Structure 1
Amino acid sequence: MTESSPHTTSSFAALGRLLKYARGYRRQIIAATTCSIINKLFDIAPEILIGIAIDVVVNKEESFVAGLGFETAQEQITILAVLTFFIWAGESIFEYLFQILWRNLAQRLQSDLRQDAYEHAQKLDMSFFEARSSGQLVATMNDDVNQLERFLDGGANAMIQVVVTVVAVGAVFFVLSPLIALLAFTPIPLIIWGAFYFQRKAGPLYADVREKVGDLSSRLANNLGGIATIKSFTAENREAERLKASSEAYVDANRRAIRISSAFIPVIRMAILAGFLATFTVGGMMALEGSLNVGAYGVLVFLTQRLLWPLTGLAEVIDLFERAMASTRRILDLLAEPVHVRDDSGQTLEQPVKGEVTFEGVSFRYPSSGAGIDDISVAIPAGNTLALVGATGSGKSTLIKLLLRFYDPTGGQIRIDGQPIQSVSLKSLREAIGLVSQDVYLFEGSIRDNLAYGSPGASDEQIIEAAKTAEAWSFIEALPEGLATAVGERGVRLSGGQRQRLSLARALLKDPPILVLDEATSAVDNETEAAIQRSLKRIGHNRTVIMIAHRLSTIVDADTIAVVAGGRILESGRHEELLENNGPYSAQWRVQTGQA
């Protein structure tokens, strides 16, 4: 995910992007905004009523209310009391409504943002995940989304009500006394300038805060995932220090942001004091001279506080706003990440899939490293087994990634049963392929859940049959809870060999016409390897199998063995033919069998 520079992408631009994303919530936003506005209008009304009450007490039958038909001062006070009741009731009702509307909107929007970000991330190319840490992505989908939720819970309403206060109180001021209005509003340009000044200063700092949060999350995720390695190397103290460094970097980033936002309040308070003193002093002099009604003077004094003092909270609102917009940029940047491996085809592989796989002059290079393959052509008839051998980095796994369309080739074509794989949907393609990789990933849950991951509707009988075929049932059956046994996070409660057999059983339960084994026996013991080999002899019939292996003893029965080096196929054939060729395969065989 590319972090946009806060110097080029302003917080208000981020707000505009957010509003564009949230256009489906337009009615909720309008309703919540309307309730916030009405609530604030009700909120400032009591100050006006206090001024009118003072006018009633001072002028009695000649007061403003008397001109509305209420002759006695008692009637006037009574009607003001009734109005006050309804105003307070209205304020309470609309406060309840805007709280409900804004909070529900925050919950709905944060949930949809997180879901959309996750679903979009699932569509991104493998290169995206290989270039970024999982901790950064988790921080974006979790902490950044929560930061936006916190702003919508209270900050959005606060910003709206500040604007409403300035406009509504300003209107009353100019009606009662344009001169005092000008004096009271004199500090507001300074306050607004200060708000934008601090916003510009705080924006980059809060972007840095969000970056440090991602770094800290990544450090925690990596350390907890590698706790066994940390313990085995007695590196606890070293890792604790590295985590402390990341945590301190986050604290320092926050400290810089807090220093800027905290400086805002004292500056604004002095500007507010100047405006209040102007109203208090000049208005008092005008009231003494008789050029200003005493009740109006009371209204102006009370409203000056109502106008200016809430602006001290602007610093906190801007602080919340900046944090939220920094998070919003990261979320929306993730949503804007382009998907290069497109899934635009609605076609499916012709059924039943026979499993014939053809690589025709396929070339590919990884953008980051430049490694890859060049002009590889190989045909695997349906039901045959192809074994790929070669040194690490020769391009074997790249062929598998291209077959699964984790990447698209830069040249050439891959076909299944004669159909170009780019012409069929990813779902149709990947449903036809079962993958068993060296790095087995088991999800937290039971053995049953993991075996049925690719076939959620499978019965226990089908699960057990697949486990028996993969020679995994014997150890599953011996466990106290059998299929209900919890595997732990990433399968930590099972041995490597057990995880590998479960991975094979999971692929078999899917019953794919094409089975891919990416070094599935490289990290297991001899007993597990022998068990997997027996399984492969049973399951290889009527199924296309593509194997990547370092141990040549596991592939001697393959129909075709291809030796890959430097991104090219050096030689191919059956085991006996390659030994007779006395080439790279024969040399490797002699080394592994101790004949060299």
Structure 2
Amino acid sequence: MSTIKKFMKYYKPYKTLFFLDLLCALTVSAIDLAFPQILNFLTKGVFTRSSSEILNILWLIGIGLLFMYLLRYVCQYFITSWGHIMGARMESDMRQDLFDHYQTLSFSYYDKNNTGEMMSKLISDLFDISELAHHGPENLFISAIKIIGSFILLTMISLQMTLILLAVTIAMFIFCWKKNRKMRAVFMDNRKKIALVNSRVQDTLSGIRVVKSFANEDVEHDKFKYCNLKFLDSKKSSYFIMGSFHAGTSVFQGLLYASVLISGGYFIAKGSIKPSDLAIYALYIGIFLNPIEVLINFTESFQKGMSGFKRFLEIVETEPEIKDDKNAKPLINPRGHISYNNVSFHYDESSEVLDNVSLTIDAGKTVAFVGPSGGGKTTLCSLLPRFYEVTGGEITIDGIDIRNFTLQSLRKAIGIVQQDVYMFSGSVRENISYGKPGASNEEIINAAKNANIHDFIMSLENGYDTHVGERGTRLSGGQKQRIAIARVFLKNPPILILDEATSALDNESERHIQESLERLSKNRTTIVIAHRLSTIRNADEIIVISENGIQERGTHETLLSKNGLYAKYYNMQFEGLN
């Protein structure tokens, strides 16, 4: 019931549409219930009169019926069109809520979950929501009116026959309830299996260049075949249950008609009812059975919609691990003085990444982190914009704990250039302007010039309007890197993080990008993670970090003179020593 209550709140913005839909449903039901009564009235009260009287009143009856069915047409049109539009709007609202919530979740959530499965919940799982949102209340409302109304009218014709009919109907609902429980489980399994299919497709297509480079199409074929057949098995199970469900309900419907015929014949023989009453009774049986059939068919869409909605709730009810404190304030014009005070961090209880690390970075200075992979350099940088939350200690900017700032203002104050640059599908202009949405053309060009990429962009067929392809496939690594730097130039943050920004580039690209980065770092507090030690010789301080924490710190010349860990790494790169 709590799930249904959460579902019902999405009707609130469309309550006018919702009640008009129910009003139209009520009108349609009333007209359907009225026809047998009109026929009964005409048969017993009008068609027994003289031919002239019948002809005189017949045209009035015709006009009345025409008006009645024109009204039914208008109501049915509203139900089918605007009722479905209401459902589609609710589905759209849920999809927007889900997308927005995805954006609030921390990196740790994305570390544990597959993108394909998340997309499945965003798209596939909500497909059946629209039908459920529209037909759910409407079907229940119409069916309830028709079943109750026809039951009352059937009772007025013959109480005994109606009690027999009720007994068969109760047996049918018990059968449906038991099958319904099995359908609920199998439809949820369908959702999980199609999510695995989507996950496999997304994973393979995203890595298609690796697949082809290793000629592993057969390997991916087998992986996909496994997921696909699992989904097929799940669908087969659902169809077997649906087959027994629909076949069973059709048997009960046949029993309803049989019970009416047999009991009707018996009561006619006993003189309890007239043959004409049995004919009217049979008409109402059709009206009585129609909503039952609607409810039976609705059971399938209800279970599909609810299983999708439950998976939707699994996400939107997931609390973000990192969010604004209720008293958080915006970070305004920071100088950029950064302190890590006894900072500890672990991804889970068994893996300590940082243990009691303390360091200070003065405003406007450039500090470089070097050391072996896995030492925690990237983690230290990821903690500053609160991509992950410290598990001990604190990080401050200008003496204030970063948890006291709003996430948006904190992250706006920090610019990040990574080794693995992400390009959005779209134009060069759109990718650069991502650093400052709404930036003028002049600002974008200036940012590109500062990043040493303007001349290259102008050499493209459509200049700044050239499309970069999915993930920037039409650009080289160095070109993507410079566009990313232009993006940060446009953002103009007081704090800068350069995470191995040149480590995967050739010497020519590195030279151009190093010039851009030096220009970008000027007058900003800058943290550099570097494997190429040639790029950090001019850093104000170099900090050597290993799995045991901070090992050495000082300028390039100071650390070389110590002949310690930094000197070892430097000599390995530049002198080939072991």
What is the correspondence of 1:96-115 to structure 2 with a 5 Å cutoff? 96-115=77-96
Letter in 2 for 1:347: K
Q: Is the 1:365–1:372 Cα contact (8 Å) retained in structure 2?
A: yes
Deviation at residue 482 of structure 1 after TM alignment: 1.6
Q: Is the 1:46–1:84 Cα contact (8 Å) retained in structure 2?
A: no
Q: Distance in 2 between matches of 1:187 and 1:99?
A: 32
Q: Distance in 1 between matches of 2:534 and 2:522?
A: 19
Match of 1:30?
A: 19
Match of 1:485?
A: 466
Quickly say closer, same or farther: Cα 1:524–1:49, change in 2 above 3 A: same
Match of 1:54?
A: 43
Match of 1:8?
A: none
Query: TM-score when scaled to structure 1?
Result: 0.91
Letter in 2 for 1:350: I
Gap regions ≥5 residues in structure 1? 1-11, 62-69
Match of 2:284?
A: 303
Instruction: Indicate whether 1:568 and 2:549 are aligned.
Output: yes
Instruction: Indicate whether 1:119 and 2:96 are aligned.
Output: no
Quickly say closer, same or farther: Cα 1:574–1:547, change in 2 above 3 A: same
SS of equivalent to 2:348:
coil
What is the correspondence of 1:42-441 to structure 2 with a 5 Å cutoff? 42-56=31-45, 59-60=48-49, 72-74=53-55, 77=58, 80-154=61-135, 156-287=137-268, 290-344=271-325, 345-351=327-333, 353-367=334-348, 370-441=351-422
Quickly say closer, same or farther: Cα 1:288–1:107, change in 2 above 3 A: same
Q: Distance in 2 between matches of 1:539 and 1:328?
A: 47
Q: Distance in 1 between matches of 2:250 and 2:100?
A: 47
Match of 1:454?
A: 435
What is the CA deviation profile of residues 273-299 of structure 1, one whole-angstrom value per residue up to 9, with x for unaligned ones? 222222223334434655324543222
Letter in 2 for 1:31: L
Q: Is the 1:45–1:87 Cα contact (8 Å) retained in structure 2?
A: no
SS of equivalent to 2:351:
coil
For residue 29 of structure 2, the aligned residue among 26, 40, 53 is 40
Q: Distance in 2 between matches of 1:71 and 1:532?
A: 101
For residue 508 of structure 1, the aligned residue among 489, 497, 507 is 489
Letter in 2 for 1:47: P
What is the CA deviation profile of residues 185-234 of structure 1, one whole-angstrom value per residue up to 9, with x for unaligned ones? 22211221122111100111110100111111111111111111111111
Q: Please, which moves more after superposition, 462-471 or 505-514?
A: 462-471
SS of equivalent to 1:186:
helix
Letter in 1 for 2:267: M
Q: Distance in 1 between matches of 2:274 and 2:548?
A: 91
The percentage of aligned residue pairs carrying the same residue is 33
Q: Distance in 2 between matches of 1:371 and 1:187?
A: 66
Q: Is the 2:147–2:291 Cα contact (8 Å) retained in structure 1?
A: no
Deviation at residue 60 of structure 1 after TM alignment: 4.4
Letter in 2 for 1:33: L
Letter in 2 for 1:399: L
Number of positions where the alignment pairs a residue of Structure 1 with one of Structure 2: 576
What is the CA deviation profile of residues 231-256 of structure 1, one whole-angstrom value per residue up to 9, with x for unaligned ones? 11112233223223222221211110
Q: Please, which moves more after superposition, 260-269 or 467-476?
A: 467-476
SS of equivalent to 1:366:
strand
Instruction: Indicate whether 1:530 and 2:511 are aligned.
Output: yes
Q: Distance in 2 between matches of 1:254 and 1:74?
A: 59
Q: Is the 1:55–1:296 Cα contact (8 Å) retained in structure 2?
A: no
Deviation at residue 461 of structure 1 after TM alignment: 2.7
Deviation at residue 445 of structure 1 after TM alignment: 0.7
Letter in 1 for 2:422: Y
Quickly say closer, same or farther: Cα 1:198–1:76, change in 2 above 3 A: farther
Quickly say closer, same or farther: Cα 1:203–1:376, change in 2 above 3 A: same
Q: Distance in 2 between matches of 1:442 and 1:518?
A: 17
SS of equivalent to 2:551:
strand
Query: TM-score when scaled to structure 2?
Result: 0.94
Quickly say closer, same or farther: Cα 1:75–1:189, change in 2 above 3 A: farther
What is the CA deviation profile of residues 316-360 of structure 1, one whole-angstrom value per residue up to 9, with x for unaligned ones? 321111111100001111110101211244522232x22111111
For residue 521 of structure 1, the aligned residue among 482, 502, 511 is 502
Gap regions ≥5 residues in structure 2? none
Letter in 2 for 1:349: L
Deviation at residue 58 of structure 1 after TM alignment: 7.1
Quickly say closer, same or farther: Cα 1:283–1:559, change in 2 above 3 A: same
Q: Is the 1:56–1:73 Cα contact (8 Å) retained in structure 2?
A: no
Match of 1:66?
A: none
Q: Distance in 1 between matches of 2:473 and 2:548?
A: 35
Match of 1:581?
A: 562
Match of 1:554?
A: 535
Quickly say closer, same or farther: Cα 1:455–1:473, change in 2 above 3 A: same
Q: Distance in 1 between matches of 2:471 and 2:511?
A: 24
Q: Distance in 2 between matches of 1:373 and 1:71?
A: 101
What is the CA deviation profile of residues 3-37 of structure 1, one whole-angstrom value per residue up to 9, with x for unaligned ones? xxxxxxxxx55333311454444443333233223
Letter in 2 for 1:323: K
Quickly say closer, same or farther: Cα 1:310–1:554, change in 2 above 3 A: same
Q: Distance in 2 between matches of 1:386 and 1:485?
A: 36
Quickly say closer, same or farther: Cα 1:199–1:13, change in 2 above 3 A: farther
Match of 1:465?
A: 446
Q: Is the 1:362–1:412 Cα contact (8 Å) retained in structure 2?
A: yes
Q: Is the 2:328–2:405 Cα contact (8 Å) retained in structure 1?
A: yes
Quickly say closer, same or farther: Cα 1:471–1:567, change in 2 above 3 A: farther
Match of 2:480?
A: 499
Q: Distance in 2 between matches of 1:298 and 1:74?
A: 24
Q: Is the 1:261–1:315 Cα contact (8 Å) retained in structure 2?
A: no
- What is the RMSD computed on CA atoms of the aligned residues? 2.3
Deviation at residue 504 of structure 1 after TM alignment: 1.1
Quickly say closer, same or farther: Cα 1:379–1:405, change in 2 above 3 A: same
Q: Distance in 1 between matches of 2:528 and 2:17?
A: 55
Q: Distance in 2 between matches of 1:518 and 1:40?
A: 67
Q: Please, which moves more after superposition, 314-323 or 27-36?
A: 27-36
